[in-house]
């Protein structure tokens, strides 16, 4: 699951710690059986993940228990996870145009953290992704079970929730890829960003 101690420590380094209690309450609620009816099933998948590639068939079956995978593809624990969207192609178009070295990044509408992982590989210091879809958070947690990057977080929050709690905090770089057309008010979304 989310390592709340690591998240708090990372947030503390950035000056966001004064908003931690309000954020933690929302996150803990969403990542519970009260927050989503499928949470217990997804939690069982995460709890059953091996620490090594000991049984590829069982790992693949477990990861498929978190389907559908929208963003990707991923190679996790020796297993290739195809995705509905070829996020690697979109990343390839922008990768050379952004310098993320040492930057703190907010990824709004991050889905399962595919881009957050790429941003860290591109040198970002910390990446915090927000996406209200609990399944995507669980997918990220499954991937990060193998990647083990303590500086990437995918949180089950909407941009408005993040903004209402921590609107004074600033990131060095903010992404919101493939999200604008989902908004009732694109202008309001841009204003919050």
pLDDT at 2: 67
pLDDT at 94: 95
pLDDT at 167: 65
pLDDT at 98: 95
Consecutive sets of 10 residues in the chain, 193 residues long: mean pLDDT of each?
A: 72 69 85 91 90 78 94 89 93 96 95 98 95 96 92 90 74 86 77 79
Cα separation of 132 and 111, whole Å?
Answer: 8
Spatial contact of 115 and 88, defined as CB atoms under 8 Å apart: no
pLDDT at 1: 65
Cα separation of 28 and 156, whole Å?
Answer: 9
pLDDT at 113: 97
Q: What predicted TM-score, i.e. pTM, was given to this entire model?
A: 0.90
């Amino acid at each position: 699951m989310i390592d709340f101690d690591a998240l708090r420590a990372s947030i503390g380094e950035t000056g966001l710690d004064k908003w931690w209690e309000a954020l933690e309450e929302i996150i803990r609620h969403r990542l519970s059986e009260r927050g989503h009816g499928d949470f217990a099933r997804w939690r069982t998948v995460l709890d059953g993940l091996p620490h090594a590639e000991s049984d590829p068939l069982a790992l693949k079956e477990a990861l498929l228990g978190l389907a559908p995978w929208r963003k990707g593809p991923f190679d996790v624990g020796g297993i290739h996870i195809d995705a509905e969207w070829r996020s690697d192609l979109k990343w390839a178009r922008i990768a050379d145009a952004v310098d993320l070295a040492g930057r703190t990044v907010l990824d709004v509408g991050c889905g399962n953290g595919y881009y957050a992982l790429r941003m860290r590989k591109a040198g970002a210091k910390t990446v915090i992704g927000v996406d209200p879809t609990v399944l995507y958070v669980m997918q990220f947690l499954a991937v990060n079970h193998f990647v083990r990057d303590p500086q990437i977080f995918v949180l089950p929050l909407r941009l408005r929730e993040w903004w209402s709690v921590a609107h004074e905090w600033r990131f060095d770089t903010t992404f919101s890829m493939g999200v604008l057309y989902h908004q009732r008010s694109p202008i309001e979304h841009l204003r919050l960003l």
